Amino acid sequence: MGAAILQLIPLLTIQVVYAVIVFVVARKRPVNPWPWTIGTLVPGVGMIVAAVFWLVTLFSVLDRLKALENRATFS
């Protein structure tokens, strides 16, 4: 039992770092940061949640860039 917990500590440490970064970025976006942060803290699943968050954030940035490009070409 103790060995399993010792093996889980590095994963939890990495997920806490990801959760802090996700929380900070989610606060800057118009989304509720708590579901993303709590989802990122779940052992094992948190890595997938963090990856989905970054993918959604990337798509959001690309959509905003596209809107800016469209607005610039019509001006």
CB 41 within 8 A of CB 15: yes
In tens digits, what is the pLDDT along the chain, a chain of 75 residues? 788 888 888 888 999 999 999 999 999 988 899 999 999 998 889 889 999 999 999 999 999 999 999 988 876
The pTM for the full model equals 0.78
CA separation for the pair 3, 63 (Å, rounded): 46
Contacts of 11 (CB under 8 A, 6+ apart): 43, 44
d(CA 75, CA 8): 55
21: domain range?
2-74
Neighbour-count burial for 35-55, b at 16+ CB within 10 Å, e otherwise: ebbebbbeeeebeebbeebee
Task: Indicate the number of domains in the chain.
Answer: 1
